Amino acid sequence: MQSFIVEHLRGEVVDVYCGGPDVFSGRIESCADNVLTLEQNGKYTYIAIDKIIALWRAQYP
């Protein structure tokens, strides 16, 4: 999944689903060493790649 994210989604704003109530949003800053880094409003979220169930480009009305 890491290579797919780097090649197709880097720089995109996405929502990331990790199960249950865990959905994270932000712009993909990087994806390296099995960690996805999202940035939103100057704050960073780091997500272990193996915890990701699904991700998609964010849809804004």
Q: What tens digit of pLDDT does each residue of 26-56 get?
A: 999 999 999 999 999 999 999 999 999 999 9
pLDDT class of 61 with cuts at 50, 70, 90: low
pLDDT class of 59 with cuts at 50, 70, 90: confident
User: What SS3 class is residue 15?
Assistant: strand
Q: Which of 6, 9, 4 lies closest to 31 in space, CA to CA?
A: 6
Cα(36)–Cα(49) distance, rounded to whole angstroms?
6
Cα(29)–Cα(7) distance, rounded to whole angstroms?
13
Lowest mean pLDDT among 12-16, 22-26, 50-54, 57-61: 57-61
pLDDT class of 4 with cuts at 50, 70, 90: very high
In the structure encoding, which two tokens stand for residue 44, read together? 């960073």
pTM tops 0.85, yes or no: yes
